[in-house]
Structure 1
Amino acid sequence: MPDRAEGLSMRTHKALSRSAEVPGRALAVLLALSVALGAAFVLAPSRLAAIGTDGGLSEQRNLIDALSPAFVKYWRSGDQGFPPDLQRLVDYWLRFHVIKAVLAAALLIVFVVLGVLLWKAFLRSSGPGAGGRGLASAAILVSVLALVSLVSLMANVQGAMAAFSSATTLLPLGAPSGQLAGAIDQIKQGLAHYPSTSGQNAVALKVMVNDFGLYHAVLAVMASIVALVLVGLSVLSWRRFATADRSDRRTRRTMRSFGVLSALLALTVIVIALANEGTATDPAPALLGFYKGGL
């Protein structure tokens, strides 16, 4: 079986080379970059972000263990500024997301360039043979990876812009215990009556609500930009579909698929943008749902 699979892979590679003129050197460089960046995205951020810190923050278990008491200390202080222990963790989480965002952006660029090369090669290829099928499969896979990279980029930019709210997602809210459980109960009580909350925790609660609003505002802005890009891609695809020769069925099918999928993705992203805009406008109820374990 391995010999047969290897033989099929070799025949497919030869078919791709004959039918599509895929630039081999560029393809090899882009594939190598995607593998290297993918490995860096998984392995590097926690280690790089932890440089110059103590407490083994690169291990998530240590990060979570340090976060709970630091969070409780901040809540009890009632101050606007974070205590040193919490500030250290928030700074680490900020660096972590910045590094991941940079790597996700690099991966997105590589996959977009690779996808363009493969789709162009597919449209130039002739016939429904192994070459065309192989190019189509590779182009679809790369397109999916590009979308995954885009989602990761958006999530990490969001996490970097509102690192405190992002870090609180690591708290064991499902089953808090001890002092953390008491702090969570007080936060939920304060949010239930926000903004009329008073007392020593009012300032800290306001900071939490504002940062949570920023967390969702950032995603709303990014989703709006992505929606505009997707609408533009859909329009360009339909124009290419309309101008393609009727005898060129491959191009017309591909452009029609791009047009439909881009429009559907745009609608999905618009819904996400509107939902996050609503949360950013009035973040307290959503934050209450988060601390209740509903988000």
Structure 2
Amino acid sequence: MRTRKALSRSAEVPGRALPVLVALAVALGAAFVLAPSRLAAIGTDGGLSDQRNLIDTLSPAFVKYWKSGDQEFPPDLERVVDYWFRFHVVKGVLAAALLIVLVALAVRLWKAFLRPSGPGVRAGGRGFAAAAILVSVLALVSLAALMANVQGATAPFSSAASLLPLGAPSGQLAGAIDQIRQGLVHYPSTSGRNAVALKVMVDDFGLYHAVLAVMAFIVAVVLVGLSVMSWRRFAATGASGSAASDGRTRRTMRWFGVLSALLASAAIVVAVANTGTAADPAPALLGFYKGGW
């Protein structure tokens, strides 16, 4: 009798791993927000972990690089770019870990909701559904954060340039930005001492978007696969019977199939748009330095 009750109780919960996964998700989420700037700044000087100091260091270093016309970054800019690379690496690792935890948590919650003898057959099962939806959305946010940080780590110079006050530059930075804009209007026929530096900017910006295009394509393929799997489960459940749990599973799989297809379509749009920018990055970079992105 006790064994039967114990089995019944164990069937009604998603497992002991649930609180562990929740704790890990909370810890990783907090680390993602608080830790990257501090960890990336280890071994550096100049207070780059402070956003204001980072921008104050970046602006004159960027101007110095542009005026030099060299391919190699000056030491101050190299230090900023290296810091920004480490910053994105730390955030990317944390985002990847958080994504894994959230996916594992979402799977357990959805299984608990869909389990025939579990709480999904009672009103309390709505709590598992709500939690599963919330965790799934957070997993998508973590995926987007992972992609953004892989992109930033691959092309940290272009990513760091987004910190510049391009909308309202002043002083020497305003002059440098104006020269960059003029050079990009005629790119690649631009000549002069800044041609090499401008090519570095254009090539890095192209890489920045090429990486995102590849990641978006991979995500689209995965989402298409999830959509196909969901529709197959939908069809198989309909053929297996008409129990209440079957109806609940069919509705869930139908929504999974539709949403996965929609998200895959969005990922394809992102992949195509970034592929076009990577193939011809100069016009998009001009829009960037005009403060339009």
Same fold (TM over 0.5): yes
SS at match of 1:130: coil
Q: Any residues of structure 2 matched to 1:116-195 within 5 Å, and which?
A: 116-124=107-115, 125=118, 129-195=122-188
Q: In structure 2, which of residues 70, 74, 79 is the aligned counterpart of residue 79 of structure 1?
A: 70
- Seq. identity, %: 80
Measured in 2, the distance between the counterparts of 1:199 and 1:252 equals 65
Assess if the C-alpha contact under 8 Å between 1:235 and 1:259 holds in 2. yes
Q: CA deviation at 1:127?
A: 5.5
Name the structure 1 match of 2:20.
29
Measured in 1, the distance between the counterparts of 2:92 and 2:192 equals 38
Measured in 2, the distance between the counterparts of 1:198 and 1:261 equals 50
Q: Any residues of structure 2 matched to 1:224-239 within 5 Å, and which?
A: 224-239=217-232
Q: In structure 2, which of residues 242, 250, 253 is the aligned counterpart of residue 252 of structure 1?
A: 250
Q: CA deviation at 1:22?
A: 1.5
Measured in 2, the distance between the counterparts of 1:131 and 1:61 equals 48
Please tell me whether residue 112 in structure 1 is matched to residue 106 in structure 2.
Answer: no
Measured in 2, the distance between the counterparts of 1:71 and 1:155 equals 22
Measured in 1, the distance between the counterparts of 2:74 and 2:175 equals 19
SS at match of 1:36: helix
Q: CA deviation at 1:131?
A: 1.9
Measured in 1, the distance between the counterparts of 2:85 and 2:79 equals 10
Change in Cα spacing, 1:162 to 1:52, as seen in structure 2 (3 Å) is same
Measured in 2, the distance between the counterparts of 1:41 and 1:21 equals 29
Q: Which residue identity is paired with 2:112? A: A
Deviation readout 1:46-90 (Å, 9 max, x if unpaired): 000001111111100000000000000000000000000000000
Return 5+ residue gaps in structure 2 as ranges: 1-8
Give the alignment's TM-score, normalised by structure 2: 0.93
Name the structure 2 match of 1:59.
50
Give the alignment's TM-score, normalised by structure 1: 0.92
Name the structure 1 match of 2:275.
277
Measured in 2, the distance between the counterparts of 1:240 and 1:102 equals 33
Please tell me whether residue 100 in structure 1 is matched to residue 98 in structure 2.
Answer: no
Measured in 2, the distance between the counterparts of 1:77 and 1:284 equals 21
Please tell me whether residue 20 in structure 1 is matched to residue 12 in structure 2.
Answer: yes
Deviation readout 1:9-64 (Å, 9 max, x if unpaired): xxxxxxxx6873320x2011101101111111011000000011111111000000
Please tell me whether residue 211 in structure 1 is matched to residue 204 in structure 2.
Answer: yes
Q: In structure 2, which of residues 260, 264, 268 is the aligned counterpart of residue 266 of structure 1?
A: 264
| Segments ≥4 residues shifted beyond 2 Å | 17-21, 125-130
Measured in 2, the distance between the counterparts of 1:18 and 1:117 equals 13
Please tell me whether residue 44 in structure 1 is matched to residue 42 in structure 2.
Answer: no
Name the structure 1 match of 2:5.
none
Return 5+ residue gaps in structure 1 as ranges: 1-16
Q: Which residue identity is paired with 1:80? A: Q
Measured in 1, the distance between the counterparts of 2:232 and 2:226 equals 10
Measured in 1, the distance between the counterparts of 2:193 and 2:120 equals 73
Q: Which residue identity is paired with 1:72? A: V
